[in-house]
Amino acid sequence: MRALIFALLLCLVGGAAQAEYPDKPVRIIVPFTAGGAPDVAARQAAARLTAGLGQQFIIDNKPGVAGSVGAEIAARAAPDGYTLLMFTSSHVLNKFLYARVNYDALKDFVPITIVTRIPSLLVVPPSSPAKTVSEFIALAKAQPGKLNYGSGGVGTLAHLSAEAFRLATGIDYIHVPYKGAPDIVLALLSKQIDVGFPTMPTAVRAAQQGTLRALAVTSAKRTAAMPEVPTLLEAMPSGGFALDAWLGLAAPAGTPQAIVDKIYATLAAAAKEPAFREQLGNDGSEVVFNTPAEFAAQVKDDAETGEALIKRVGVKLE
């Protein structure tokens, strides 16, 4: 009898030690300020994870240095599934942009899934004589060094997109950095700049309303928000490129694969809900939810292409 009781106690202790994940609240570090695209996507994902897994997934905003502050905190967290990171394409590029980054995007994290992709729009004011990409290239080549483009700052997606465009076309235009992507749209609306590559969420409403003219989108395929707008790959058959941002979830390196797979499966199931997809994609973003293996391959590929582009542009930040 004593042996039976002892065996039952061992089973109970073992069961407690191997409690079903998650058995307590989970923190999602968002390394940007509240209200931005990463924060919004994280909160929508957190709500679905809370509903699907029965524990609170809590947002913890840790902004600073292009997402590096929050990423460093996440990289040093215990790999037990109770700290996740809103992982973005900028985290992959920061290693090549900044002189010092205290985390390694490829080694310190386990990718879980991309939530959304965020393309940029090549836009001009409606008063611009250019109505197509080819016409804009011709316009810029006719007056080298006279046109200017805006970005949200050196090293941002808008800056790298514009420089990739310059390298692909051979045009010469002047960079005017602003504090953020919304400022690019305002500068275009007030005709302070001639062209820009703001992100789709920032510029899609103005483009749909006709207060800006969209010439192309930087994604690999056309977007549902503006299906009439061609991609740069279509508009530039000999030199087009695709360059967009993504927002996803990752966990600290060493997190058990079973936990990674469970989080992914929960979000992939939620992604089948039309309402969830509409919430995530109502700003022109592309809803993704790819597998952990696909996400890991994307991170590796973006590191290689991003490093090559940044070296060609010659950007280095302190």
Q: Are residues 224 and 137 in the same domain?
A: yes
The domain of 252 spans 24-118+245-313
121-169 tens-digit pLDDT: 999 999 999 999 999 999 999 999 999 999 999 999 999 999 999 999 9
Contacts of 115 (CB under 8 A, 6+ apart): 41, 45, 246, 247, 248, 249, 267, 280, 287, 288, 289
Average pLDDT (78-90) is 97
Query: 201 and 135, same structural domain?
Result: yes
Residues 182, 211, single domain; the answer is yes
Let me know whether 109 and 139 are in one domain.
no
109 and 137 share one domain: no
The pTM is what? 0.88
Do the domain assignments include residue 6? no
Do 187 and 266 reside in the same domain of the chain?
A: no
Same domain, 82 and 228: no
Asked if the structure places residue 185 within a domain, the reply is: yes
| Bridge partner list, 17 | none
In the prediction, which pLDDT does 65 show?
A: 87
- Digit-coded pLDDT (tens) for 245-293: 999 999 999 999 999 999 999 999 999 999 999 989 988 899 999 999 9
Q: Where among 207, 235, 263 does a domain terminate?
A: 235
Residue 5: inside a domain, yes or no? no
How many structural domains are present in the chain? 2
Q: Does a structural domain hold residue 16?
A: no
Residues 179 and 143 in one domain: yes
Angle between helices 292-313 and 89-97 (to 10 degrees): 30
| Assigned domain for 301 exists | yes
Question: What is the predicted pLDDT for the residue at 13?
Answer: 45
Cβ-based burial of 116 (10 A; exposed 0-12, middle 13-18, buried ≥19): buried
Q: Per the domain annotation, does 144 fall within a domain?
A: yes
Q: Express each pLDDT in 177-236 by its tens digit.
A: 998 888 999 999 999 999 999 999 999 999 999 999 999 999 999 999 999 999 999 999
109 and 63 share one domain: yes
